[in-house]
């Protein structure tokens, strides 16, 4: 949107929203808050606070990773309810059971390996559902029980995550045109986050 030959300033947007929210109950939803630069987040939080002060019935729904909760609670003190959302252990096990039921090579699976998959993957990868999906994909791609077991062992030790990410990136690149760019960016971000987490946990 362009006003008078220039894009709207933040102040203009805040005033517009204050006018709208003063007469209508409004819900403002903001996704991927943590992907916004820290300096911009502070300015946005100040602006959101101004909107809430003039329109207390307005509700703001912000989605982001847990580390941004403190800054939101600080800037919007007294107005914040935080809810931690993530896959439960039961969710992951149910998903894995579904994938195992859909296994196209059932001869490459036995009860012992299935039990190990249902025990080790939720224990080691419960914080990122995408990792669960990537790893079960890679395991089921193997043609024999022994190779699947070897893949499971290496993945739960973090030794083959790079191969999993690489294969997934190649699959994403096969999509049409620019559609693959957001998915690749997200996957690379997750890869970096997971690597940082593992390095941090290994530091005494």
What DSSP assignment string belongs to the chain?
--BTTBPPPHHHHHHHHHHHHHHS--EEEE--GGGS-HHHHHHHHHHHHHHHHH-TT-EEEE---GGGHHHHHHHTTTS---------HHHHHHHHHHHHHT-S-GGG--HHHHHHHHHHHHHHHTT-HHHHHHHHHHHHHSSSHHHHHHHHHHHHTTSSHHHHHHHHHHHHHTSSGGGHHHHHHHHHHHHHHHHHHHHHHH--
Q: Does any domain span residue 41?
A: yes
pLDDT for the residue 138: 87
Q: Does any domain span residue 134?
A: yes
pLDDT cut 70: percent of the chain above it: 73
Q: How deeply is 159 buried, as exposed, middle or buried, from its count of CB atoms within 10 A (0-12, 13-18, 19+)?
A: exposed
pLDDT cut 90: percent of the chain above it: 32
Does the global pTM surpass 0.85? no
End-of-domain residue from the set 21, 43, 76: 76
Average pLDDT over residues 17-31: 89
**164 and 187, same domain (yes or no):** yes
Tokens matching residue 109: 């699976």
Average pLDDT over residues 195-203: 45
pLDDT for the residue 118: 95
Tell me how far apart the terminal alpha carbons of the chain are, to the nearest angstrom. Answer: 51
Lowest mean pLDDT segment, chosen from 31-45, 48-62, 83-97, 119-133: 119-133
**69 and 95, same domain (yes or no):** no
How many structural domains is the chain composed of?
2
**105 and 168, same domain (yes or no):** yes
Lowest mean pLDDT segment, chosen from 14-23, 115-124, 178-187: 178-187
End-of-domain residue from the set 76, 106, 121: 76
**124 and 67, same domain (yes or no):** no
pLDDT for the residue 132: 86
Q: Does any domain span residue 140?
A: yes
**101 and 143, same domain (yes or no):** yes
Rounded to the nearest 5°, which phi and psi values hold at 87? -70, 135
Q: Tokens 């693959």 belong to which residue?
A: 180
Domain, as residue range, for 50: 10-76
**122 and 186, same domain (yes or no):** yes
Q: Does any domain span residue 2?
A: no
Average pLDDT over residues 96-105: 95
Tokens matching residue 83: 């809810």
Kindly tell me if the per-residue pLDDT of 199 is higher than 60.
Answer: no
Distance, CA of 174 to CA of 10 (rounded, Å): 39
Q: Does any domain span residue 62?
A: yes
Q: Does any domain span residue 202?
A: no
Q: Does any domain span residue 83?
A: no
**113 and 68, same domain (yes or no):** no
Q: Does any domain span residue 82?
A: no
End-of-domain residue from the set 24, 53, 76: 76
Distance, CA of 154 to CA of 160 (rounded, Å): 6
């Amino acid at each position: 949107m362009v006003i008078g030959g220039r894009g709207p300033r933040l102040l203009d947007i805040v005033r517009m929203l204050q006018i709208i929210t003063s007469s209508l109950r409004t819900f403002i939803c903001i996704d991927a808050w943590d992907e916004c630069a820290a300096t911009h987040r502070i300015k946005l939080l100040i602006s959101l606070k101004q909107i809430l002060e003039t329109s207390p019935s307005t509700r703001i729904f912000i989605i982001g990773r847990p580390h941004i909760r403190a800054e939101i609670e600080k800037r919007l003190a007294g107005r914040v309810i935080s809810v931690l959302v993530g896959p439960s252990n039961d969710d992951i096990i149910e998903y894995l059971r579904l994938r195992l039921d859909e296994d196209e090579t059932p001869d490459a699976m036995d009860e012992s390996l299935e039990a190990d998959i249902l025990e080790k993957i939720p224990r080691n990868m419960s914080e990122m559902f995408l990792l669960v999906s990537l790893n079960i994909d890679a395991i089921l791609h193997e043609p024999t029980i022994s190779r699947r077991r070897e893949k499971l062992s290496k993945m739960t030790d973090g030794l083959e995550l790079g191969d999993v990410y690489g294969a997934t990136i190649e699959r994403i690149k096969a999509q049409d045109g620019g559609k693959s760019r957001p998915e690749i960016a997200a996957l690379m971000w997750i890869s970096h986050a997971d690597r940082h987490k593992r390095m941090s946990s290994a530091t005494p």
